[in-house]
Structure 1
Amino acid sequence: MQIIEQQKIIPVPPAPQSKGWRPQFNLLRWFSLASFFIIAIVALGLGYISTRFVVDESIERDSMLTAQFIQAIGEAEIRHAGISPNRTMGEMLDPRMDNDYPDVSPAARAASRIEFLDHVEHLPDILLATVYAHDRTVVWSTNPELIGTRIDDDDELAEAFEMKEPVSTSYHEIDEGRPEQRLLREPEYLFVENYIPLFNADKSKVLAMVEIYKEPVDLVGRIQRGFKAIWLATLIGGAAIYLGLFWIVRHAAMLLQSQQKQLIANETFVALGEMSSAVAHSLRNPLANIRSSAELAQEIASQTAQKNIGDIISQVDRMSRWVRDLLVSLRPVNDDCETVDLVLVIDDTLSAFESLIKRSQVEVRFTPKSVPPIVSQQMLLTQILNSLFANALEAMPKGGVLTIDIESPAPGHLRMALTDTGKGMSRQQQQMVFKPFFTTKQGGLGVGLALVKRIMERFEGSVELTSQEQEGTRVCLNFKVATGGEYGAQRTAGRG
């Protein structure tokens, strides 16, 4: 189907830019960047807070259990050694105070102390265990080098003595500046320092402090698994939020862009409609006078002048068609839909083009069949088919085959395909063919297919065009099937 033959393109200089000119705001790009950084920052913040919460809560829970276990061991060893319940393990740990409690035998004191320290030394995951007297002097440690050392600048130790509560701190590296951190082995990932106070009988005074350095291997494994779960959930959640918002904004941006193009097109059609109406009224009478005068002159003209006068009449007719096509293309399309018999309209159009089809030696292949009615307007659909048939016949001046197929690609839809064996179009021409006022035909106006597209979309349909150079063109009209009507006409014959 030949629609475009040869185009003469006139370059249009770009409009001058004013000093205040700004490029068009790209909503999708800026939203993508801004939302990505905001969601990333929020996700990182939530992930960090969540992981810190997991670590702190896990360490605090482990430290509380360790403190309860140590204090329970102390009470149990006091009972096991038969010492008076008025005495506590805190009073038994400092050998320098053995003579301060005459009601406790040295053997019982030594036995309870040895048993208690043995339990502390064999705690699971232990790195170092130390016992401080009330004056911050180390009276026992799993590292013998620390025994007898006085620690005065340990804030956590001072806090534990003053607050009379267990204090825990986590570390990832050993502090070489702290003499009490002379661990027996190097921790692999994380180690915890626990200060556990031991009181007198009425718990009014801290008499000893047990310091435990331990590397909770099972706890570290749980923390690492928690880290992975938190960061994976954060990553998936952030990605889901970003993609969801991106899809919404992308859809909105495409809708806005489509509406903007439609608004520009409508404004263009309105302006050109007003201009063309004025031009049509101005040219119609002069063109009619020129044609009438030419016809009169043709009757008395000589044989040699007949051809020139005939050219004048044909050019006047061409200008009249231009004006008429321009007015039709720019006229507002009525949205009122009708139930239309597609096969009947095709038959009527073929009848109108019958003489031209014979002159062009074109073979029409069309088999009418019973199809449901479509949503359109009969007058506008006739105009569409007239435009497409005219283009197809122009594409085959030396004869060819014009094929018309009707099929149902999906429920509720009907497709009419019009295929010719003309010389076809290039890929660049196919991309521009539906643009208003784009044409490469000598003397063409460029409103035919643009009007076809406009009418089809107005009735919830669409038009598609595929073409191959030197092979032909195929135009598909996709219609919406009318519902609620009764279709009883059965067609079994056609023209062509």
Structure 2
Amino acid sequence: MSSSKAWRWMHWLGGYGAGGGRRLALTRWFAVVGSLAIGLFAIGMSWLMSSFLATRMLTRDAEISRDFVQSIVNIQQVAGFFRAPTVAPEPSVVEFFAHVAAMPDVLRANVYAPSGRVLWSSRSELIGKSFAVNDELDRALKGRVVVNQEDEDDEAPKAEHQGLAKRSIGFVEDYLPVFDDRNHELIGVIELYRQPVALLEAIASGQRLIWWGAALGGLVLLGVLVAFVRRTEGVLQAQQQRLLEAETLAVLGELSGAVAHSIRNPLVSIRTSAELQREIAGDADEVHGEIIRNVDRIEHLVRTMLTYAAEPADHPQQADLAAVLREAAQRFEPELRQQGKRFELQLAANLGQVSADPVVLAQVLNSLLANAAEATGAGDQVSLRAEREGRQARILLSDTGKGLEAAQLQDIFKPFFTTKPRGLGLGLPLARRIVLRLGGEIAISSELGRGTVVTLQLPLAGAAP
């Protein structure tokens, strides 16, 4: 793998940002590691279940054959032949051999004495022979049913396999111990070479079902876990964002606490002097008015910083939503109309009250209306509408101004992010922080050149379900 490909792979897994900083990529890592782990587990379990299915079904089939052969031994009373075999077996023994050879799917049948010598075989040339190495026969001579499946690709065939034609699906060896029904003594072993086509097809079908089920189950499990981890990753990212916000607030708290008193005292003096000069000498050139407006703007910025860093009050208050909206409109409407902009206010009846400090709620509306005023030009319109929706109040603040780019919308609520040359970038983060504290929601949609819409959802105090 080339260095560039390796870097792209690590970039995808590690989630490196554009600035080179590492960001959380839990879902990607889990998707890779989880796929490997679940895949290996599914393969292992499928192999175990397939092997168990084949072994269990072949063993059970051999046990049924053993019971059938044992019943023939009991009916034909051939135990004496096993103890003292003769060159010319009795008719009952010959009939026993015929029944064994005629069993379904049997390719060859061998009858072994307890010594391991072949007493009878459907291939006459094997009668009387003994085979030195036959582990399956040794286990069967201890009274156990033994099954051995031979595939067509198996090499080094056993000596007793001579004369067996190769078959496309192989064959199964069943070693069936038989006992004397009177004293339950082992008298011999019946070896059957069988090709149970229907049974092998059923086993293959079951194994395919196991493999497909394991694959499907693994995919479903992986999908569910990835969805869970993705949700967890979202929560962690939100917590990380809140942690960064808390760190920012700590810096703001220290900064605002250090400068607020130092700034406000000179501001009071400057504003008072400007007001006195305007009363004494007049203000034909609007110089003193401009000073007063800039002082108020600085005071507003300081108050914004203090409000953003402050914790919510221990004793929640209630605010008349309609009254707060009208007060905000009365403050901004004259200024907007003076700038040649249209302003529209629409309030539904019985808006009710919200659990919020009226001053803090007014701060949110003032910040949003100030943004709308700065984003619009002469001839544009700013609209403020509010209505009641069940247990919530819905506030829409829209403008027909210049709007925002999609990239700017992603960072609009980050502290100190601003599109204004003289802004602090705290107005919208402050509004969002306050709205979330009130249990509400805030959303902004905008399109470049077509304006912006800010939607506030606030829970009403004491509203009936």
Is the pair's TM-score, using the shorter chain for normalization, greater than 0.5? Answer: yes
> Could you say what the CA RMSD is over the residues aligned between the two structures, in angstroms?
3.6
Describe the shift of the 1:442–1:132 C-alpha distance in structure 2 as closer, same or farther (beyond 3 A). closer
Q: Distance in 2 between matches of 1:364 and 1:300?
A: 35
> 1:448: how far off?
1.1
Match of 2:52 in 1: 53
Describe the shift of the 1:248–1:335 C-alpha distance in structure 2 as closer, same or farther (beyond 3 A). farther
Describe the shift of the 1:180–1:396 C-alpha distance in structure 2 as closer, same or farther (beyond 3 A). same
Match of 1:445 in 2: 424
Alignment of 1:241-260 (within 5 A): 241-260=221-240
Match of 1:401 in 2: 381
Report if the CA contact (8 A) 1:374-1:414 is conserved: no
Which residue identity is paired with 1:77?
A: Q
Structure-2-length-normalised TM-score: 0.81
SS of alignment partner, residue 353 of structure 1: helix
- Per-residue CA deviations over 1:154-204 (Å, capped at 9, x if unaligned) read 22223333x144433233245543121236443443532122344567657
Match of 1:90 in 2: 82
Is 1:431 the counterpart of 2:410 in the alignment?
A: yes
Choose from 330, 336, 357 the match for 1:357. Answer: 336
- Per-residue CA deviations over 1:194-234 (Å, capped at 9, x if unaligned) read 22344567657655432101122232233233323434444
> 1:40: how far off?
3.8
Report if the CA contact (8 A) 2:74-2:181 is conserved: no
Match of 2:457 in 1: 478
Match of 1:18 in 2: none
Q: Distance in 2 between matches of 1:246 and 1:449?
A: 34
Choose from 296, 313, 317 the match for 1:334. Answer: 313
- Per-residue CA deviations over 1:410-433 (Å, capped at 9, x if unaligned) read x43332111111111222222222
> 1:436: how far off?
1.2
Match of 1:390 in 2: 370
Q: Distance in 1 between matches of 2:269 and 2:94?
A: 131
Which residue identity is paired with 1:422?
A: G
Greater C-alpha Rg: 1
Which residue identity is paired with 2:107?
A: L
Question: Structure 2 unaligned runs (5+)?
Answer: 1-20
- Per-residue CA deviations over 1:18-54 (Å, capped at 9, x if unaligned) read xxxx967755444444444444444444333333332
Question: Structure 1 unaligned runs (5+)?
Answer: 1-21, 99-108, 487-496
Report if the CA contact (8 A) 1:75-1:89 is conserved: no
Report if the CA contact (8 A) 2:50-2:210 is conserved: yes
Alignment of 1:180-329 (within 5 A): 180-182=160-162, 184-189=164-169, 191-199=171-179, 206-290=186-270, 315-329=294-308
Choose from 89, 103, 121 the match for 2:101. Answer: 121
Q: Distance in 2 between matches of 1:193 and 1:118?
A: 19
- Per-residue CA deviations over 1:375-397 (Å, capped at 9, x if unaligned) read 34222222222222222222233
SS of alignment partner, residue 104 of structure 2: coil
Describe the shift of the 1:89–1:23 C-alpha distance in structure 2 as closer, same or farther (beyond 3 A). farther
Which residue identity is paired with 2:149?
A: S
SS of alignment partner, residue 347 of structure 2: coil
User: How many residues of Structure 1 are paired with residues of Structure 2 in the alignment?
Assistant: 443
Report if the CA contact (8 A) 1:128-1:183 is conserved: no
Report if the CA contact (8 A) 1:426-1:469 is conserved: yes
Which residue identity is paired with 1:437?
A: F
Describe the shift of the 1:462–1:206 C-alpha distance in structure 2 as closer, same or farther (beyond 3 A). closer
Describe the shift of the 1:337–1:222 C-alpha distance in structure 2 as closer, same or farther (beyond 3 A). farther
- Per-residue CA deviations over 1:348-373 (Å, capped at 9, x if unaligned) read 22222232132123333333322442
Q: Distance in 2 between matches of 1:187 and 1:268?
A: 78
> 1:123: how far off?
0.9
Q: Distance in 2 between matches of 1:365 and 1:143?
A: 107
Q: Distance in 2 between matches of 1:275 and 1:120?
A: 99
SS of alignment partner, residue 393 of structure 2: strand
Match of 2:361 in 1: 381
Match of 1:76 in 2: 75
Q: Distance in 1 between matches of 2:300 and 2:444?
A: 25
Q: Distance in 2 between matches of 1:198 and 1:226?
A: 31
Choose from 303, 322, 331 the match for 1:343. Answer: 322
Describe the shift of the 1:350–1:25 C-alpha distance in structure 2 as closer, same or farther (beyond 3 A). closer
Match of 2:7 in 1: none
Which residue identity is paired with 1:381?
A: L
SS of alignment partner, residue 120 of structure 2: strand
Which residue identity is paired with 1:325?
A: T
Choose from 406, 416, 425 the match for 2:395. Answer: 416
Structure-1-length-normalised TM-score: 0.77
Is 1:141 the counterpart of 2:121 in the alignment?
A: yes
SS of alignment partner, residue 422 of structure 1: coil
> 1:149: how far off?
3.6
Q: Which has the higher contact order (CA 8 A, sep 6+)?
A: 1
Describe the shift of the 1:461–1:73 C-alpha distance in structure 2 as closer, same or farther (beyond 3 A). same
Which residue identity is paired with 1:392?
A: A
- Per-residue CA deviations over 1:115-149 (Å, capped at 9, x if unaligned) read 11221121111122122345544343333443454
SS of alignment partner, residue 90 of structure 2: helix
